[in-house]
């Protein structure tokens, strides 16, 4: 399995609530809790991630 290269979300609170995202694998967007980097990660297809972001912007989530 390829290695994911995570970075903190620009919307994260750098003191407490931190989400990290990896976009270096073309077919997968990986999301994890920075406080638990060895814990589970959510893996989404890029089109699913885009739909999620669109819904957030439109206030539907």
pLDDT band at 1, cuts 50/70/90? low
- The answer to whether position 1 is within a domain reads no
pLDDT by residue (tens digit) across 6-44? 998 776 666 667 889 999 999 999 999 988 889 999 999
**35 lies in which domain range?**
6-57
- Specify the number of domains making up the chain: 1
pLDDT band at 60, cuts 50/70/90? confident
In a 13 Å sphere around the CA of 60, the CA atoms on its Cβ side amount to 6
pLDDT by residue (tens digit) across 43-56? 999 999 999 989 98
- The answer to whether position 53 is within a domain reads yes
- The answer to whether position 46 is within a domain reads yes
Strand partners, 25: 28
SS3 61: coil
Q: Which pLDDT score is estimated for 19?
A: 87
Q: Counting every residue, how long is the chain?
A: 61
Stated pTM of the model: 0.78
- The answer to whether position 42 is within a domain reads yes
């Amino acid at each position: 399995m390829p290695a994911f290269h995570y970075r903190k979300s620009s919307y994260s609170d750098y003191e407490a609530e931190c989400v990290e995202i990896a976009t270096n694998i073309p077919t997968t967007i990986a999301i994890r809790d920075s406080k638990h980097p060895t814990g589970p990660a959510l893996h989404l297809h890029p089109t699913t991630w885009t739909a999620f972001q669109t819904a957030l912007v439109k206030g539907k989530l």
